[in-house]
Structure 1
Amino acid sequence: MIPADEVRRIRTAATFGSTRAQVLLGQICIDGNGVPRSRTEGRRWFEKAAAAGSVEGINMLGRCHEFGWGGPVDPVKAAECYRHAALRGYDWAQFNLAGLLHEGQGVLRDRRQACAWYLRAARQGHAKAANMLGHYREEGWLHRPRPRSAFFWYARAARGGDFRGQFNLARLLFAAGSREPALIWLDRAIEGGIPDFWADIAPVLSAHPDPSLRRYGRRASMLAAAGGSAGASQPPPSAR
């Protein structure tokens, strides 16, 4: 929980035109972190930052359109916001635009373009984008599956701190017989995960013949049961 005096400091800076403070305050309002939750107010602060040209603000306004924070869901406008910020080089917007292109939400489904945007974000160090590139290589969504390339991108995502990338790297390591490194990465993945992730992996691990993985499955199941629903917001890097 953000202390009240820190919220006041951020609010003052936002009121005097700091776009970084406006984005931070918008996120605080969306999350209800130290203030009563208000997605309408959060959206207003993102709009102010976006109007001033902040790529973080534009990206977060896209999130408002995508998820209906403080207004209706509008994936077309979300894609417009993401593309605007993505073309200016903002990695989170590149990642979010790639997600819409991958699923065909607000734009025509185009996995070639999605992969290209994931690559641009990953080259800037965006760990979640690197994890998605691992999926593209492993699943063969554009070309034939490329296991070595998948391993490379999952490892990059894992080292960047993405818990899904850590889990996927652990999967490949375990399958290759590198049991101890796999368990280290699996432990990190579960430690840094969120309830939706724990709920997804719990049945897979719990049904595994290896007793160590079954223990991780029980741990993930307990965490999911205790953690409630995962938050839908995406904090800017400065608020992570």
Structure 2
Amino acid sequence: MRNLGFRLLGLSDPEQVKAGMHTLTRAAEQGDIEAEIALGRIYLAGIPAVPKDVKRARGHFLRAEPSRHPSAAYFLGVMSQNGQGVRADPREAARWFEIAAERGSPDATFLLANAYRAGAGVPKDDKKALALYEKAGELEHAPALQTLAMAYLHGELGLEPDDAEYRRYMMEAEHALQHRPVPP
């Protein structure tokens, strides 16, 4: 059912797009977590024939979250961070990012590292940020690898400047950009 919904969404006729949304909604109502997350993403961004609706998006992510799918927690974190459908709350964003990171989301791991680096919603902790950037880097997250490269270049996050490490991380980042995984 979900695949039919996706096919209909890809068509240009607004009536077929509405039929695709209806099909995805039915799939989600029958427990299809991927359909629930897809609906959340669609409402979060909006598409032609389907206006942006952050409250609906949040509802879909909240319904998907008990499944322990990392994307649900990741998007709830992004929405909490940006004040989409809720008041912006860096502490709540960090909590959701931590849940998604524990479930294997490299994007959430990177955003949680940024939070520790800045002290946004969590105590400022360069050592914890470094460990999280390294964890995201192991998952081939290009921005995390670039952040590590710059930290070695400029001697940040408690690291000593190291040109060889800077070059190594930049090469890994370039490689990761060529093999970018599916976004959350």
Q: TM-score over 0.5 for the alignment? A: yes
1:83 is matched with which residue? 98
Structure 1 spans left out of the alignment, 5+ residues: 163-236
Match in the other structure for 1:145:
161
Judged with a 3 Å threshold, the aligned counterparts in structure 2 of structure 1 residues 160 and 16 are, in CA distance, closer, same or farther, namely: same
Q: What amino acid is aligned across from residue 19 of structure 1 in structure 2?
A: I
Please give the TM-score of this superposition, normalised by the length of structure 2: 0.81
TM score, norm. by length of structure 1: 0.63
- Percentage of matched positions with identical amino acids: 27
Distance 1:115 1:239 in 2: 22
1:51 matched residue in structure 2: 66
Give the partner amino acid of 1:53. R
Q: Where does structure 2 lack aligned partners over 5 or more consecutive residues?
A: 1-8, 12-16
Runs of 4+ residues over 6 Å off in structure 1 = none
1:56 CA drift (Å): 1.2
Aligned mates of 2:85, 2:31 — CA distance in 1: 21
SS at match of 2:159: coil
1:144 CA displacement: 1.7
1:112 to 108, 127, 134: 127
- Superposed CA offset, 1:38-63 (max 9, x none): 11111111111113322210111111
Number of equivalent positions: 166
| 1:57-103 alpha-carbon deviations (Å, 9 max, x no partner) | 01111111111111110110111111122123322221111111111
Q: Structure 2: how far apart are the matches of 1:104 and 1:9? A: 43
Alpha carbons of structure 1 residues 115 and 91: separation in structure 2 relative to 1, 3 Å: same
**Deviation at 1:8?**
4.0
User: Which letter maps to 2:168?
Assistant: F
Q: 2:161, 2:22 → 1: CA distance?
A: 52
Conserved? CA contact 2:69–2:103, under 8 Å: no
Contact 1:24 1:239 in 2 (8 A): no
Name the CA distance, whole Å, in 2 between partners of 1:104 and 1:113: 11
Moved more, 84-93 or 64-73: 84-93
Structure 1 residue 33 corresponds to structure 2 residue 47 = yes
